[in-house]
Amino acid sequence: MQNRNYKNRILAYVCLVCFSAVPMFVSAKTIMIVGDSLSAGYGIQVNQGWVSLFKNRLEQQYPKKHKVVNVSVSGETTSGAVARLPKLLATHKPDIVVIELGGNDGLRGQPPQLIQKNLAQLVLQSQKTKAQVILLGMKMPPNYGTAYQQAFENNYKIVSNQYKVKLMPFFLKDVAGHKYLMQKDQIHPNAKAQPILLNNTYPYIKGAL
């Protein structure tokens, strides 16, 4: 009897070790980045941009597992994206949609209410296709005034709370305001800043996988 119990314990231990050695299954997903020049790689080589760096890191961690589609366009506004998104969703059928928009709207002084409405539409359109949404927040420079700054930033919080989507408070965290990380226009991040943008964003996207 003791010998049998001993064998059973050994067998259970072997099964546990074998099970632990099996990697956790991660279902393949398509991740679509909907952004403006910050995600389109304006002013730098495409392979230097944070989205390309994201593809590389994802391939290293999950070889041949996921697909990344970058539909970002320099100069894009939330209004433009609202018009484009239905076709993009139908074409690429993403499981995850990362929305990095609003900066151009703010720089053009668009009413915060319009920006909020458009962001909400982008989220709703994505959620109707059962896609998970990640919202990358932005901030306006101080010269736009405190009232506009606060109203602009609150848009992301309001939409995130209302539609229960993940929000990264500030996409340009640790980049904006650092001249050595910006291009000459002091608006677009340079190549040195791209790994920082990736590190800012990656935990949010990885969490959705």
Q: Which residues are identified as catalytic? A: 37, 185, 188
Report which of 171, 168, 28, 161 is spatially closest to residue 94, judged by C-alpha positions.
28
Residues 6+ apart with CB under 8 A from 6: none
Quick check: 96 and 30 in contact, CB under 8 A? yes
Three-state DSSP at 12 gives: helix
**What residues pair up with 182 in beta bridges, in sequence order?**
189
Class of residue 173 by CB neighbours under 10 A (exposed 0-12, middle 13-18, buried 19+): middle
Tracing tokens 């959705």 back to the chain, one arrives at 208
Q: Measure the CA–CA gap between 102 and 123, rounded to whole angstroms.
A: 13
